[in-house]
Amino acid sequence: MTSARPAPTSDPDTIPRMPAWVTSARVENPEDVAFLSGAALSQLHIVVMRPDLPHALLRDRLSLRAAEACLGFAGRPERAAELRDAVHLLRPGDLPGPAGDVYLAWRRAVARPVSVKALCRAFPDLEAGGIAGWLGAGRGSPVNRAAAVLETVLTEAPRAEVAGLVLADAALSKALGWDHLVPLLAAGLKRADLRKSGDDLRLACHRAVVASAVEGQRLAVDVARRAARLKLVAPKLRAKGAGDAVLMFLSRDAVAPAALPLPDRAARRLCDRLVDLAAVRELTGRDTYRLYGV
């Protein structure tokens, strides 16, 4: 891993807030819901296109929310803490388990620019031709395209809910001109929504976009503020490899000390130092097998 400087620090106070009329409106008319989803996406687009945000970190954190939602649809009990353990505490040769597989699929899907190749990496059991066909199923506005992709996948493969939601978000992101997939739909949909079709599914997707865009904008402000704190204290770190460690924290929801480019003891000391400087948080509350994140 080569050393590099963190990206320029963004000022969280300059990130535009979602208008109150978007967050407080309670509408049922399909045209009004579609209008609100367009307004919410327009505001989120401004955030997504800012070059000074820790975009990889934001996407990774949103992928955790999406994975939680998918597991909830399947009736599984795992939540953020269990998902982090399942992925970040893996040792060579270990299997992540069903819940870890879901989280890994989302993380892989958001890690690289949207493409069939990147989505094949997230779902190695699916054929590239099938993924390309599903992605091309949508027409019309971005949300309508996403809903069409989701409906097509779930019609042809009813058990492929995770793939359907990932591909729907991929179609949405591509339609909006975003380079990377930004997870939005899963966390805003309800389990019953996945059984809908046609206009009912499109309406559910519009509602999901409103809720998730609002949360995505809030989360962007939060990670920008936390990243700014980490960048502020980074020059105080003297450990060899600290710069690369900081870059890892700026791009990942959670980091195990063993994953840092430092000897084990030095990595633990660096994590403790960053906690003392209020630059990162210990996420597990445990004395051992700890995970850290901004």
Burial label, 105 (beta-carbon count in 10 A; 0-12, 13-18, 19+): buried
Question: Is there a single domain that holds both residue 75 and residue 136?
Answer: yes
Report which secondary-structure segment, H or E, holds 282. strand 281-282
What CATH number did the domain enclosing 267 receive? 1.10.10
Q: Which residue, of 225, 252, 284, is where some domain finishes?
A: 225
Q: Indicate whether 8 belongs to any domain.
A: no
Q: What is the pLDDT of residues 179-220, one digit of tens each?
A: 999 999 999 999 999 999 999 999 999 999 999 999 999 999
The parent domain of residue 267 ranges over 237-293
Q: What is the pLDDT of residues 211-250, one digit of tens each?
A: 999 999 999 999 999 999 999 999 999 888 999 999 999 9
Q: Extract the tokens encoding 7.
A: 């990206």
Question: Is there a single domain that holds both residue 289 and residue 164?
Answer: no
Structure letter (DSSP) for residue 255: B
CA distance 32 to 40: 12
Inter-residue contact 65 to 183 (CB < 8 Å): yes
Q: What is the pLDDT of residues 32-57, one digit of tens each?
A: 999 999 999 999 999 999 988 999 99
Q: Indicate whether 230 belongs to any domain.
A: no
